[in-house]
Amino acid sequence: MPCGAEVIIVLLPMLVPGAALLPAVAMAALAAAAALGYTVSRGADRTRAAGMTEVDVQIENAETVTEDLRLGQQLILNRDGITLVFSRDRQGRAVVRAAGCGMTQVALRAAAEEFISHLTQQYAYHRLMTKLRQKDFTVIEESVEADRTVHVRVSVYRD
């Protein structure tokens, strides 16, 4: 790249099949949870209440999303009567379980998919920013569009 060249990077809110996901997923999960207004719980009440509905949503094409989590390790999130459990199941798959009393499976699935979308984008953002720092790029400008598309403008100066 020529001296002083600029690069514009656009992150779209989508899951990229086969993306190499690394341990930054923990930071990404917490950032996604905060962005969506979820609070982190230390543990979960294993008692199933009457009227409790649950739905599991597997994160497709992301087998390594939870490689930094031990099997069975969980991140438990709560918001407005919905509990999301982000974990790596016994087969090593990344799964989000959504549960809530008086909630429909459709509403719970939508909550899980919204979290997965934010998780994926936050992961890509954190991974990108780490790589940019490692390669001595300087972030000149960042912006986020209404549709959550992130624009990152960077430059690099080489001697």
Residue 1 falls within a domain, yes or no?
Answer: no
Q: What is the pTM of this model?
A: 0.74
Contact status, residue 60 vs residue 102, Cβ threshold 8 Å? no
Residue 68 falls within a domain, yes or no?
Answer: yes
Question: Which structural domain range is residue 93 located in?
Answer: 6-155
Residue 17 falls within a domain, yes or no?
Answer: yes
pLDDT digits (tens, 9 = 90+) for 61-100: 665 555 556 666 788 999 999 999 988 777 777 889 999 9
Residue 12 falls within a domain, yes or no?
Answer: yes
pLDDT digits (tens, 9 = 90+) for 14-63: 333 333 333 567 778 888 888 999 998 876 555 566 678 999 998 876 65
H-run or E-run covering 23: none
Q: Return the number of other C-beta atoms located less than 10 Å from residue 71's C-beta.
A: 11
User: Would you give the distance in Å from CA 46 to the centre of its chain?
Assistant: 25
pLDDT digits (tens, 9 = 90+) for 132-152: 888 888 888 988 888 888 888
In the chain, how many domains are there?
1
Q: What is the DSSP string of 110-159?
A: HHHHHHHHHHHHHHHHHHHHHHHHHTT-EEEEEEE-TT--EEEEEE----
